[in-house]
Structure 1
Amino acid sequence: MNRIAASSIFSFLVISVSCHTQVEKIVPERNNITLSVYASGKVVSKDQYEVKPNTAGYIREIHVSEGDLVQKGTVLFSLSNETTLLNEEIASLSRSFSERQNNLERLQELEVQIELAKSEMVHDSILVERQIRLRESGIGTDLELEQRLLSYAQRKTAYTGLKLKKETLDRELDHNENTAKKNLEKASALANDLEIKSNIDGKVYSLLKEKGELVNSQNALAIVGNSDEFLLELLVDEYDISQIQPGQEAKISLDSYQDQVFDARITKINPMMDSGNKSFLVEASFVTKPPTLYPNLTLEANIIIEVKENALLIPSSYIFQGNQVISAEGDTLQVTIGIKNYSETEIISGIDGTTELIKP
């Protein structure tokens, strides 16, 4: 077969296919359109937190089981730490030794010495006055007067020194007693930390450690949360976060409740972006919720940004170059678009409800 014959056959096939191919045409339709932002996330219990110890130790006893309802202050775990208990005992002994009541003998002994020194000072003062009167009468010598004055000064110095000593002892006893008291409070607090209690009224959702394990303040022992109230933690991409505001509605789909959609409302936007996944944590609460919920149930959400009723819509796939469509006659038309989602686009102007369009 020569080149001319082959070309003729190819042209015939193209013409035949073109004549028999039906071009798909559509006209714009009026309907409601919703602009929404997608987010993934999970269900968490309100006030949910990880139970962590404030001190290190071995788990001596676990007082609860998974699923138990607990009240605030309920003991969840008991730890064992011999050093902490010994420090509390030592602090208690030190407190007893430092109490003022146990140092009364030192104070009483000093008070007796002060009274004696005061009496001796007063006695020497009387002798000085007597010696002065005798000297004025010409009796006695200057040396005897000087000796009396020197003895009085010594008694006065001794008396003053003992009073200062008592004031110093008072301050020392007060300081020792307060220090011992604080040390005991600190040691007791550490000992009390061996009893790990619930911070809320709620439910024990998970136990993460077993009896006998060594734990410290970095280890989570359990997960406790509210048993009646749940909230939603949604991850919103950084490109969409500027459109999210508290109060917006969201449609929630749960893997555990397939083919059902639940209403929720945005309650909080955490302002710090997670640099790892480039997303923001957004919290929402159920408006209508499933009958049964558990923490960490996975979900998908569509956060409603805008809803427009009776809008002129065409499939988004019929738009090219951002704002152009092709009419059934093959003309390229420029349009003004409004709300756009992954499947439909609102047309503001450029065509009307009678304009036939073909897919580009």
Structure 2
Amino acid sequence: MRSWMGIFLMFLAVTVVSCSNAKTEDETTQYDKPDKFTVETMAVNKEVRAAKITFSGTVTSDKTVMLMPKIMGYIRSISVDIGDSFRKNDVLVSISSDELSARVKRAESALKEARIGLKQAESGLKMAQMEKRKAEAQFNLAEKTYKRYKRLLKSESVSQQEYDQVESEYLSAKESYDIAVENINLAEKKLNQAGSKIEQSKAMLSETQSYIDYKKIKAPFDGVVLKKLSEEGNLASPGNAVLKIGSNEKIVAAEIGERLFNNVSVGDNVTISYPSGNMSFTAVIKNKSSQIMPGSRKFTVETTAKDILPAGAYVKVMVAEGQNEGVFIPRSAVKQVGQLNAVIIKEGDQAKMRILKLGREIGNKVEVLSGLSGGEKLVLTDVELIESGDRLKEK
């Protein structure tokens, strides 16, 4: 019995010591809160600022183009994908066209035949010229003989039979000469026709070969791929786009409410906020639609944008609408209490917590929609440590 009692007393002693040590450790880790916080404060005042209304906008390229083939054929390759950048004259799409290759071969064959025809026409003209010279010589001799016999016949120096023979030879030579002259004209005509056919064949071949360039769709400017509208192996045809591309220069497109139509003009400044990139900047309205869309009762504006913004990014467009009076405080003075926004106010030497409803942020300040009305002393330092009821003193 005594042994069991001894074991129990030893266990109790160990437990007491352990609890004592644990308590000591907890006490050493507790925050040593001061009796008074020495703080910086500022007087809350109302300020007159430009009233701004926020609309959603989208970043897009300043210039967009739908790339379409000029010939029909199968897409052999597309060298870019959505989001890829390219330079002017880069080959973006290659098209394979058996029909175009066949047209080139036909044009080359027609030119070859035309050149053969030209050589034949040139040879024909040379032969006709030789025949003409020969016929001309025979005709000249026959004509002289005929004229001489005509004079001799008058003086009865030759017989009628001899004269008739010479006259017949003269007329035959004249007919041969006339035929030779006509053959020259025909040969020259054939040569001209062959020359024209050469020019036509060359023009046809040049035109057909120019279509070879259409097998490659090149970039008209430096830019980025916005959409890929077809795939390799698909049939491409004129009028059906393969890619949608845009220039590197960016704009922001936004739809603005109808009531601001007369307040917004080209050249006005607006504020662009890019939440994902923690960026804001001033932009200028470049274009404004001339009419209001019946369904949405909105109109479209386009503004300048920073080129570093990615195409398709969501942004906020803030448009000025007169001025309003409001309370603006440093964003650093606001603390999170659960899901709520709060600040510490100094009343006398006591800290009071105020729950706020916040509005727009402008620089390092935030608008207070409710919770402060002006005239309060706002605590700027140690706001995360101070609680309601804590004693305060100003620096």
Shorter-chain TM range is 0.5 to 0.7
**Secondary structure at the counterpart of residue 252 of structure 2:** strand
**Aligned twin of 1:53:** 69
**CA 1:195–1:261 in structure 2 vs 1: closer, same or farther (change >3 Å)?**
same
**Aligned twin of 2:105:** 89
Alpha-carbon separation, structure 1, partners of 2:260 and 2:277 = 27
Task: Using structure 1 for the length normalisation, give the TM-score.
Answer: 0.61
**CA 1:300–1:173 in structure 2 vs 1: closer, same or farther (change >3 Å)?**
farther
Alpha-carbon separation, structure 2, partners of 1:250 and 1:273 = 20
Q: Does 1:263 align with 2:282?
A: yes
1:126 pairs, out of 130, 137, 141, with 141
**Aligned twin of 1:135:** 150
Q: Is the 8 A contact 2:149 2:166 kept in 1?
A: no
Q: Deviations over 1:177-200 (max 9, x none)?
A: 222222222322333322222222
2:202 pairs, out of 160, 169, 181, with 181
Q: Is the 8 A contact 2:132 2:184 kept in 1?
A: no
Q: Is the 8 A contact 2:53 2:318 kept in 1?
A: yes
**Secondary structure at the counterpart of residue 42 of structure 1:** strand
Alpha-carbon separation, structure 2, partners of 1:276 and 1:178 = 60
Identity across matched positions, percent: 20
**Secondary structure at the counterpart of residue 93 of structure 2:** strand
1:284 pairs, out of 303, 316, 319, with 303
**CA 1:125–1:55 in structure 2 vs 1: closer, same or farther (change >3 Å)?**
same
Q: Deviations over 1:244-289 (max 9, x none)?
A: 544222333446457x543211334577988887876644323xx3
In the alignment, structure 2 segments of 5+ residues that lack a partner are: 1-45, 326-395
Aligned pairs for 1:77-226 within 5 A:
77-99=93-115, 103-138=118-153, 139=158, 141=160, 143=164, 147=168, 150-226=171-247
**CA 1:190–1:158 in structure 2 vs 1: closer, same or farther (change >3 Å)?**
same
Alpha-carbon separation, structure 2, partners of 1:72 and 1:208 = 20
Alpha-carbon separation, structure 2, partners of 1:236 and 1:146 = 106
**CA 1:143–1:300 in structure 2 vs 1: closer, same or farther (change >3 Å)?**
farther
Alpha-carbon separation, structure 1, partners of 2:144 and 2:295 = 93
**Aligned twin of 2:253:** 233
Tell me by how many angstroms 1:237 deviates. 7.4
Alpha-carbon separation, structure 1, partners of 2:258 and 2:113 = 63
**Aligned twin of 1:295:** 311
Question: Aligned AA for 1:55?
Answer: I
What number of residue pairs does the alignment pair up?
A: 275
Question: Aligned AA for 1:247?
Answer: G
Tell me by how many angstroms 1:175 deviates. 2.2
Alpha-carbon separation, structure 1, partners of 2:308 and 2:228 = 21
Q: RMSD between aligned alpha carbons?
A: 3.9
Q: Is the 8 A contact 2:121 2:194 kept in 1?
A: no
**CA 1:243–1:145 in structure 2 vs 1: closer, same or farther (change >3 Å)?**
farther
Question: Aligned AA for 1:124?
Answer: F
Tell me by how many angstroms 1:65 deviates. 3.9
Alpha-carbon separation, structure 2, partners of 1:88 and 1:145 = 61
Question: Aligned AA for 2:77?
Answer: E
Question: Aligned AA for 1:203?
Answer: V
**CA 1:241–1:171 in structure 2 vs 1: closer, same or farther (change >3 Å)?**
farther
Tell me by how many angstroms 1:296 deviates. 2.6
